């Protein structure tokens, strides 16, 4: 491939990646925003912690159910179609949520948002498997999740500041319009693979033959992915580690700091911002270190081990808001970043044509974990609640939160046990030469 053609390839790949990455950042914004508007939602819809947990978890349940279909869609229809339709549904859902007068209609809006954005990440990761070389896939995965996490950072402190200017309803209408614009851009510019844009495949550029295409019914392919036991540890790592972190940072961290330490929402959101920025850096570092040393398992094991220990400290160390607390919130974020390596691990133990399905299987663990933990956390709080109400909403004690945090430790332990079962691939696909 001569120089001009090479430049055109890089420009096309950058444009496609850029559109998909902005779509992915909007996924994180949609996911994390309920934490910051939690008291507005409680007031607007007059709800308890369990109902709020269920409203926020609505997104996760449909997102979880859609992960395997998202993988199938990415491997069959292609990511251009699936991401276009996904952005469109999410945009409409956000507007429905923003204009809802009842908790039922708000839940329908969240359901549509979850349904729409559920296909974006798998579409993006599938895109990365065909537009980037294997040897940088860990780094690209880390950078991808780093950028997505910037979306969740925008949903913390900056969103809290915006709420002083606009109502939560106006903000969700705005993000809805952005999602609809992204649907239009995806349809116009995204292409499923280099060949569709008139380029040779990445492997052909390196003088190798292209990977085999899918040649049988997708149902049989999906069954093969499910039967591949080397894919499953990644599912449980995401379930316990990433699922726990998203449930905590995405909903319960702000109420914990508010109730236990009398912090304002603005001050409490600084701590969740620290966690989310640390998570973003952790994913990037994990991807980079793993590609650099040519190994996956040691990086995952260390991060899962230290992650579990940080929850122990969160529950039993005598911390107060301040530097040590910030360090704890940072440690939980940065160590959980190791979960990003479950995607390369899944891709590297599966036939390349089925990478979408394998990535979606491990990704399901994350959202199933988050949905279960978000709801259980609220349930444990309500179980120990003494009936105290402050500013019109339920107030929980530090003891209530300590009990709920034991749940985080239990899920972190599941992740560590799963990390021991990860198959080392040496950062190469072990199903093909």
- Residue 206: inside a domain: no
Q: pLDDT tens across 167-195, in order?
A: 888 888 998 999 999 999 999 999 998 88
Does residue 378 sit within a domain? yes
| Overall domain count for the chain | 1
Within-domain flag for 118? yes
The reply to whether 50 falls in a domain is: yes
Any domain includes 432: no
The reply to whether 205 falls in a domain is no
Contacts of 2 (CB under 8 A, 6+ apart): none
d(CA 47, CA 192): 44
pTM summary value:
0.81
Q: Which two tokens stand for residue 45?
A: 């819809």
pLDDT at 81 over 80: yes
pLDDT band, residue 1 (cuts 50/70/90): low
Higher local confidence (pLDDT), 306 or 129? 306
pLDDT tens digit string along 360-381? 999 999 988 988 888 898 888 8
CA 352/CA 252 separation, integer angstroms: 38
For residue 31, is pLDDT > 80?
no
- Structural domain boundaries enclosing 318: 3-194+217-419
Instruction: Give kind and range of the element (H or E) at residue 393.
Output: strand 393-394
| Model confidence band, residue 233 (pLDDT cutoffs 50, 70, 90) | very high
Q: Phi and psi dihedrals of 200, rounded to 5?
A: -70, 165
Q: What is the pLDDT of residues 282-337, one digit of tens each?
A: 999 999 999 999 999 999 999 999 999 999 999 998 888 899 999 999 999 999 99
Domain of residue 113, CATH code: 1.20.1250.20
Q: What is the pLDDT of residue 15?
A: 95
Q: What is the dihedral of CA 12, 18, 21, 26, to 10 degrees?
A: -140
Average pLDDT of every residue of the chain: 87
Tell whether 139 is covered by a domain: yes
Q: Is the CA virtual torsion 264, 267, 273, 275 positive or negative?
A: negative
The answer to whether the CB of 33 falls within 8 A of the CB of 155 is yes
pLDDT of residue 54: 74
**230 belongs to a structural domain:** yes
């Amino acid at each position: 491939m001569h120089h001009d053609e090479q430049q055109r390839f890089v420009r096309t790949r950058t444009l496609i990646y850029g559109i998909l990455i902005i779509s992915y950042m909007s996924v994180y914004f949609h996911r994390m925003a309920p934490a910051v508007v939690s008291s507005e939602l409680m007031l607007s819809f007059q709800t308890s912690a369990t109902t709020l947990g269920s409203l926020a978890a609505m997104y996760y349940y449909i997102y979880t159910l859609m992960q395997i279909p998202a993988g199938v869609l990415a491997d069959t229809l292609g990511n251009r179609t699936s991401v276009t339709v996904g952005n469109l549904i999410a945009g409409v859902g956000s507007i429905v949520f923003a204009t809802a007068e009842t908790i039922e209609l708000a839940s329908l809006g969240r359901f549509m948002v979850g349904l729409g954005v559920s296909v974006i990440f798998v579409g993006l990761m599938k895109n990365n498997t065909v537009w980037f070389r294997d040897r940088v896939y860990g780094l690209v995965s880390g950078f991808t999740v780093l950028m997505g996490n910037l979306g969740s950072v925008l949903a913390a402190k900056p969103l809290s500041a915006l709420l002083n200017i606009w109502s939560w309803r106006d903000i969700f209408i705005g993000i809805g319009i952005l999602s609809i614009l992204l649907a239009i851009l995806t349809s116009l510019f995204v292409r499923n693979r280099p060949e569709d844009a008139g380029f040779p495949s990445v492997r052909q550029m390196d003088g190798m033959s292209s990977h085999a295409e899918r040649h049988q019914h997708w149902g049989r392919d999906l069954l093969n992915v499910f039967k591949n036991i080397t894919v499953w540890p990644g599912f449980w790592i995401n379930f316990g580690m990433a699922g726990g972190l998203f449930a905590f940072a995405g909903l319960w961290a702000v109420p914990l700091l508010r109730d236990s330490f009398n912090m304002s929402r603005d001050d409490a959101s600084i701590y969740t911002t620290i966690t989310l920025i640390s998570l973003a850096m952790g994913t990037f570092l994990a991807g980079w270190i793993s590609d650099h040393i040519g190994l996956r398992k040691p990086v995952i094991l260390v991060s899962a081990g230290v992650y579990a220990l940080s929850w122990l400290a969160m529950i039993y160390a005598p911390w107060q808001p301040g530097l040590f607390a910030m360090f704890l919130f940072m440690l939980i974020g940065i160590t959980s970043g190791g979960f990003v390596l479950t995607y390369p691990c899944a891709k590297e133990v599966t036939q390349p044509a089925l990478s979408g399905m394998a990535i979606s299987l491990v990704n399901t663990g994350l959202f199933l974990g988050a949905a279960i933990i978000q709801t259980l956390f609220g349930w444990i709080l309500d179980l120990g609640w003494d009936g105290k109400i402050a500013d019109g909403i339920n107030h929980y004690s530090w003891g209530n939160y300590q009990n709920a945090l034991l749940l985080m430790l239990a899920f972190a332990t599941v992740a560590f046990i799963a990390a021991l079962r990860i198959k080392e691939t040496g950062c190469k696909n072990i199903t093909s030469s």
